[in-house]
Structure 1
């Protein structure tokens, strides 16, 4: 067989592919890899791959094709990221509308015309739901459904009246760490917080293992923390994936200290948000939650103080009124008692005056005396005895 020129083969392949696929966009499902993005130039080169789990548990590549996005369709990247919150990055499984092209010089290449965001969102939601179903099914003592809501052991932990001693998990020097510390320090009430920092990676590959390791370190420290605060600044949905894993959900749901999550994601609620004791949207709001929680305790104390003041005033007023009443009663009873005693004394004085021997003698009575002693019985008087008779105006001597 006579050999043919390479260009003839290339042109033949171009004609065959153009006849089969030319002007016929098709939808394909593939995973991104080896992305070379040039936003300033308005185009992007990447590799699309299809993988499956092999017998050894490793991903085996079934297909790999080069692809590109030209300037006219470059907006599809921004449209996809806006719709999903997922960064256009490697290892993202996408539903793509592509056209097949072949160049004798550059070879086979797929041109990406459109990215379907609903596929990615649905895929993420399916993965999240699988994790939630696993938690409820395999760990019913830590996670369960109640009236359509996920309830966890961490959510049911008692919350201290004052949240002051904190363990902070954050990335060192990150915006999330900085925003949280600044908001906590600048609180308008002058509250002080004791914060121990457990700094680590909180996004990207390996973040879930790093965070869980820090939680284990906190648990083993035996420090009586009031709460653990997990914060992370803003980022893409892809960076956020560490908070939607089974490991994170299980660790947070069963942790024995209340966990406050402020992981900087406004779009969706992560599995970590659903499993933790309290979830807020951002690190700043996490600090605000702590300040407001302590403010509510202070206000309750102030209300109790006001109530105690009112009760004390009422008690004192009632006691004063009772004292006044008892004083009036004592004064009235004392007056009547003294008056009655005065009357009795007066009556007794009159009686005593009436019984005074001088007064008795003045009324015509006489006293019979023997040597100055009163004789009261006739049998005591002897015959021819000399006695004295005491009268009102003098004494006379008589012989019996």
Structure 2
């Protein structure tokens, strides 16, 4: 049996084998699982996933020493606009290194930023394609910014200098416009951008009646770490948001997906404030122009009416004279016609009166006969009930105190009664009732 090797001896054999047989440098495509700096060095975890899934099929550690990293880092960030972070696809030039104590690692000697740019561009294009297929890419742009956009919901870091600059610019505008600003805090750099900005948008959406627009601003941080604004979920939220969204995230080099789907994109927080002030100034100018137009229209109308009245005043004597002349002529014609028309009218009325007289005579004669007959009937009726006629027939009338006695109950012993008959009247005293 061979002698057992110590771990150091075994690791030394591995190191010697690698140094002897793997001597070249290689370009390798990989995804960064993580990347961080320590002591000026950059430590990376590389990963390769199975196509179409997130299942890792290879892992390795990589290091970039301080002397090399000091050159590669600014070049990479300048070209890509990104810091080296987890999730990026990279193309690294590496050589192998094995240390008895620290194990195996790939040592990075170069990074090709164009590869990362290409991958980032592909991912951005995929997001843009998805948004356009969903029909939401231009939805927020189609919203109309209210004329008086003064109630502003701001999404930013509460400690960001850009938020302070934004508020200062709004409050100190020369026109004296008043704005009401409310901050909804979010992380504006790193991996939490998407989650916290979406949470802020959801909070604003619950109170959307309180605001005219949303402003997403970022200031005071690294201008290279803007990857959080190039995500599908955040872009969908902004594209579908019911209020106009204005972005000012300080991204001068390239337009982020968030910028593309927002209502208006400006470069900086102060530019966002200037945009809102200018919008309100444009509205104010429209109001002033409308006021001038109203004054001009009223002035023109008054001038036209004055001219019309002046013309009427000039024409009035002539028209009045013409009217009076016409009326005099009409009166003259009426005076000429009046005797003839009066004579004709009188002749006509005389004929009517003659006709009525002839008609009335016959009517009156018939009416007189009818009334005479009626009177005769009434006379017969009156004669039939004449008390004198009744007395002649043997009837009498008894009175007491001038009243006709109709019943013995009306009298009592000692009452004096008067009885009227055809030939005279007798008086009696009641002895018994």
Aligned to 1:49: 46
Shift of 1:293: 0.9
CA contact (8 A) 1:96 1:114 kept: yes
Distance 1:268 1:183, change over 3 A: same
In the superposition, the TM-score normalised over structure 1's length comes to 0.72
Aligned to 1:170: 156
Shift of 1:197: 2.4
Shift of 1:3: 4.3
Aligned to 1:190: 176
Q: Distance in 2 between matches of 1:123 and 1:293?
A: 38
**Secondary structure in 2 matching 1:112:** strand
Shift of 1:224: 4.3
Aligned to 2:37: 36
Relative to its length, the structure with more strand (as a share) is 1
Aligned to 1:21: 22
Partner deviation per Cα, 1:360-396 (whole Å, 9 max, x = no partner)? xxxxxxxxxxxxxxxxxxxxxxxxxxxxxxxxxxxxx
**Secondary structure in 2 matching 1:223:** helix
Q: Distance in 2 between matches of 1:11 and 1:133?
A: 53
Q: How does 1:379-390 map to 2 (within 5 A)?
A: none
**Secondary structure in 2 matching 1:155:** helix
In the superposition, the TM-score normalised over structure 2's length comes to 0.67
Aligned to 2:381: none
**Secondary structure in 2 matching 1:74:** helix
Matched, 1:151 2:151: no
Rg larger for: 2
Distance 1:337 1:47, change over 3 A: closer
Matched, 1:316 2:302: yes
**Secondary structure in 1 matching 2:203:** helix
Q: Distance in 1 between matches of 2:124 and 2:220?
A: 20
Relative to its length, the structure with more helix (as a share) is 2
Aligned length: 326
Aligned to 2:132: 136
Shift of 1:92: 3.4
Q: How does 1:268-307 map to 2 (within 5 A)?
A: 268-307=254-293
**Which segments of 5 or more consecutive residues in structure 1 lack a partner in the other structure?**
144-149, 345-400
Distance 1:253 1:4, change over 3 A: closer
CA contact (8 A) 1:99 1:111 kept: yes
Supply the RMSD in Å over aligned alpha carbons.
3.1
Shift of 1:124: 0.9
**Secondary structure in 2 matching 1:261:** strand
Distance 1:200 1:226, change over 3 A: same
